Chain A
Amino acid sequence: MIIRSTQKLGMKLFEVVESRFSTAFGESWNPFYNLGALSFFFFWIVAASGVYLYAFFDTSITSAYTSVESITNNHFYIGGIIRGLHRYASDAMVVTMTIHLFREFLMGRFRGARWFSWLTGVPLLWLVFASGINGYWLVWDQLAQYIAILTAEWFDWLPFFSAPMAQNFLNEASLSDRFFSLLAFLHIGIPLTLLLMMWVHIQRMAKAKSNPPRGLALGTLAALIILSIAKPAVSQAPANLDRAVTDVQLDWFFLNLYPLLDTVSPGDLWGLVGFITLLIAVVPWILPKGKYSIATVNLENCNGCERCFIDCPYDAVTMQPRTDGMSFSHEAVVRTNLCVGCGICVGACPTATPFRRQTQLVAGIELAEFPLKNLRNEVLQASETLSGTDRVMAFACSECGKDKLARQPGVAVVPLPCIAMLPPSFIDFVISKRLADGVFLTGCETANCYHRYGSQWTEERIEGKRDPQLRKRVPRERVARLWTSAVNGGRVQQEIKQFRSRLRDVGPMRDDYASMKQSLSFVSSETGGNIHDTD
């Protein structure tokens, strides 16, 4: 309960900040909507600059420091800038990753089948930090010395080592190349493992956004380059193990926990980070999962058109060879362990049309506990509460939308798990049957859809760019939609108000459209799944 309300409050805060960013960047470039993609982008910057640095880096402990100094000072400006990019892009990755984590948490995008992305995110935290700390070690300056000693002391608490690792760093005399070269190789190994795990992390998402939009990418890169020039990344004084490190400039993004080691024991720090890691890892299992219904295929109505397969944002639908002897080559199969119950597949299915008779209103793919029959009943009931010439039937995504639409007379609200669950034929149905004078759709901002592609698919279906399309004969002045975040309740109200006044201006429905639909309605569905819902 407390967690739920903190989540809500946190998300509100995010939305307030994000809507500002949307004003400046436009929705699609909004950095908050591209945090995962930006993390990827920073990784590539770090990787590319790292290759340059590594080419000139000397992996022996005696020459490491001077080789880094030489890159910084003797490569004209290039070396210094590249070093700056390497450092600051790493820092930036910590920032975007951390905000990404909080955001996915607050949005509840770890629930149900989405546990996979969450859990595979956890090792990324460790790998990012390990890569960065390992990198600072290689410079072999005062900071590196500080890191070397504290990290070794920290690891020595674990019972794995036959001799303490910290004995490698007792004094200048005890220093050996072997351990240092190992670290240099780890600085390739750990980031490669990170990349592999990043790839695993996005496996369960169809069309994962792992590249930021070009405008955002260029802007960010420019910012990092300017930073690298304004505040070059430089080494501190060279390491000298015969003298203790006193004042040291820390990179607080990576080393924020190190000062703790001056006051708490290594064991306690292991306890703390272990606890935090575990706490993050178990989030999908200790927090309420939320109720949702899995999609199921009704084979007799599936014609194998692949639309659900194409539209599912979670790769939960696969197409497999037909098993029931029908003449179609394929059938849709839901991988239930991947399905998050968004219903987007239902909205994509050509057989999902409310014009069918009640007994036959079964689509090729349906949410088990929220069948289309129920949706149609809800629409019919909602319609009965409306009167006047500006009646609006509003369909809203229940993640971001329901609250935006405060109850008001003359507007009936039908919530859906995702706005893209609504087959476009329902819009046609509502208007042609005069269940309302206009249909209003609202869902999350396109670039920030809770179900990833819900708003975009809906928009494209209405604009006739994606199957199933909204029929051309539906009068467009009677359809309005708004993709916006939950904080913009005011805008939604205003939009609805304007929409209703437009509806009043347009006046009541023309009879010909209605009667034409009347005669077409309840088409017999002998055609099976082959109902054409495009003009």
Chain B
Amino acid sequence: MTEKRNFIGQIIAYLFFAGFLGVLSNYPTYSHTTADQATIKLTMNHSGKLKEKCRQRSEEEMAKLPPNMRVSMDCPRERSPIKLEMIVDGKEIYKETLLPFGLTRDGEATAYRRFNIKAGEHRVQVRMKDDVNTEGYDYHFEQTLTLAPSQVMVIHFDNLLGKFVAI
């Protein structure tokens, strides 16, 4: 049994399908950021200070522990959560408390944030606090940055230098 077919109809259908693929595969063009914007990426991988200081175990405590674990110093490994803030032109645009990685919270706290801001001059401040046992912020960054349109500026915490740097 040969089926009835209409080849003109098929060609129209194929052209329509190809056109549909060709167009939606490329258009409409999408504007992710506008040309007058720049990007700041704030990032950090940093271990906070230990949450608790090491302390001497008492005799009684030692007795309770299994013999192979009787170490006189008790050093909890949990680290402080880290408070991180960014202020641009006097306005706070980011504030977060970052937890150390890992189930026992003894790893690094990490941050990554991307901000689109208008190109031009901006006063940028970053503050970080990595110790629950002290008052106030432990690290400060303050700089006037001039951002060209579409420029990507990375402000990251350099663990060797122990401070934030903008590159």
Contact = CB atoms under 8 A, between A and B. Distances in A.
A29 B14 CA distance: 13
A24 B25 contact: no
Interface stretch (A218-226, A301-309, A319-327, A398-406): A218-226
B18 A226 contact: yes
Interface in A279-327: none
Interface string B63-75: 0000000000000
B13 A24 contact: yes
A123 to B, nearest CB: 24
A247 B31 CA distance: 4
Interface in B1-35: 3-10, 12-15, 17-18, 20-22, 24-35
Contact of A23 (B6, B26, B33, B101): B6
Contacts of A246: 31-35, 37, 150
Given A26-B3, A248-B30, A162 B152 contact: no
A400 to B, nearest CB: 19
Nearest to A261: B32
Nearest to B9: A24
A276 B135 CA distance: 46
A228 to B, nearest CB: 9
B80 interface: no
A253 interface: yes
B108 interface: yes
B123 interface: no
Contact of B114 (A88, A149, A259): A149
A275 B31 CA distance: 27
Contact of B14 (A149, A219, A253): A219
A92 B21 contact: yes
B131 to A, nearest CB: 21
Nearest to B153: A171
A252 B10 contact: no
Interface stretch (B39-47, B53-61, B87-95): B39-47
Interface residues of A, number: 53
Interface string A130-147: 000000000000000010
Contacts of A274: none
A220 B156 CA distance: 52
Interface residues of B, number: 50
B116 interface: yes
A458 B156 CA distance: 73
Interface stretch (A54-62, A237-245, A419-427): A237-245
| A153, A220, A230, A243 interface centre (most CB from chain B within 10 Å) | A243
Chain A CB within 10 A, most for which of B9, B26, B34, B37 = B26
Nearest to B16: A223
A63 interface: no
A259 B30 contact: yes
B32 A25 contact: no
Residue in A92, A166, A250 whose Cβ sees the most chain B Cβ within 10 Å: A250
30 contacts: A24-B7, A24-B10, A25-B5, A88-B18, A88-B21, A88-B25, A91-B24, A92-B17, A95-B21, A149-B114, A162-B107, A164-B112, A167-B110, A171-B154, A220-B14, A223-B15, A231-B22, A242-B151, A243-B152, A244-B38, A245-B33, A246-B34, A247-B31, A248-B29, A248-B30, A248-B31, A249-B29, A251-B24, A253-B24, A259-B30
Q: Which 5 A-B pairs have the closest CB atoms?
A: A24-B9, A26-B3, A164-B112, A223-B14, A227-B18
